[in-house]
Amino acid sequence: MSEIITTEAIVLSKIKYGDTSKITTLYTEEFGKISAIVKGGRNSKSKIGAVVDPMNHIQIVLYKKDTREVQIISSAELLNHFRKLRENLEKLEYSQAILELLKKLTAEHESNHRLFKGSVRILTLLDTSNEIPIVTFGRFFIFFLSELGYEIQLDKCAFCGKTTLENIELSYNFEIGMLCNDCRKNHLESISISSELFKYMDCLKTNKRIESLDSRVPEKAVVFMERYLKFHIPDFSGIKSIQLFK
């Protein structure tokens, strides 16, 4: 039997289905990632079809049936269109990267209220704030890794426990964690982390204000987090959305 359910959602993608309909992938607050059909959604007169568009934050009413892989959307209301994201190429690049991570790496039907709220908040920040888009995306990426269960350990040397790590050369071993200047000599399979990159990533993780930095550091942080994710999820091949904009 179908239930009538109301939930908020972020539209991740859509594809054509049949002559007039479309199937969407949604990241919902109550049910995590799901697929749903908008019957007649490609018709120019369809109000639902116009609302259920990638990147929109919406509220939907579903005819939900657990035994059905694709749910049915009966109505949809637009909560946020994120207009500025669509008008700025750099903002668009990183908002698409957020949608891609949610679509590729979250599990079907596994709700995470914190991740949903955080995703809406970051898209809102990208849309409204003057922060450099790659920095805002970095805040999301490090948060996303933690919510997936792959938190990046930054608070101490994973080998000796040293907690004073500022202003020294560090390394990161993907199996062990952060290594101080002394301990990194004993672990050759690690990535060098400059003091500036360490400070920047600590600011991302603790949501601190970032005053000034080398313009290359945010990109280095994204590359590091991509490599970290590839190590833990071998099937992950990188963020295609970012590669497309290069």
What are the pLDDT digits (tens) for 210-243? Answer: 877 788 999 999 999 999 999 999 999 999 998 8
Is the domain of 62 the same as that of 97? no
Band the pLDDT of 67: cuts 50, 70, 90.
confident
The set of long-range contacts for 63-72, using a CB threshold of 8 Å and a minimum separation of 24, is 63/2, 63/3, 63/4, 64/2, 64/3, 64/4, 64/5, 64/31, 65/1, 65/2, 65/3, 69/35, 70/23, 70/35, 70/36, 70/37, 71/34, 71/35, 71/36, 71/37, 72/2, 72/36, 72/37, 72/39
Describe the crossing of helices 89-105 and 113-128 by its angle, rounded to 10 degrees.
170
**CA 157/CA 60 separation, integer angstroms:** 46
Is the domain of 184 the same as that of 139? yes
Final residue of a structural domain among 80, 105, 130: 80
Is the domain of 53 the same as that of 98? no
**Cα 217–Cα 202–Cα 192 angle in degrees, nearest 5:** 55
Whether 127 maps to a domain, the answer reads yes
Band the pLDDT of 1: cuts 50, 70, 90.
low
Q: Domain of 33?
A: 3-80
Number of domains in the chain: 2
Is the domain of 135 the same as that of 198? yes
* pLDDT tens-digit map of 153-198: 999 999 999 999 988 889 999 999 999 988 988 877 789 999 999 9
Band the pLDDT of 18: cuts 50, 70, 90.
confident
Q: Average per-residue pLDDT in the chain? A: 92
In the chain, the N- to C-terminal Cα span, in Å, equals 48
Is the domain of 89 the same as that of 12? no
Is the domain of 121 the same as that of 140? yes
**CA 44/CA 218 separation, integer angstroms:** 42
Query: At 94, is the secondary structure helix, strand, or coil?
Result: helix
Is the domain of 20 the same as that of 110? no
Final residue of a structural domain among 54, 80, 106: 80
Return the bridge partners of 26, or none: 11, 34
DSSP at 168: S
Nearest in space to 130 (alpha carbons), one of 55, 54, 205, 209: 209
Is the domain of 74 the same as that of 96? no
In the chain, where do the E strands start and end? 3-17, 21-28, 32-38, 57-64, 70-80, 170-173, 177-179, 191-193
Whether 18 and 38 have beta carbons less than 8 Å apart is answered as: no
Single-letter amino acid, residue 196: E
Rg of the chain over Cα atoms, rounded to whole angstroms, equals 20
Stated pTM of the model: 0.93
pLDDT of 4: 93
Residue 196: partners with Cβ closer than 8 Å, 6 or more residues away: 213, 214, 217
**How many residues are present in the chain?**
246
Is the domain of 32 the same as that of 88? no
Average pLDDT over residues 60-79: 92
Return the bridge partners of 22, or none: 16, 38
Here the tokens at position 3 are 């239930």
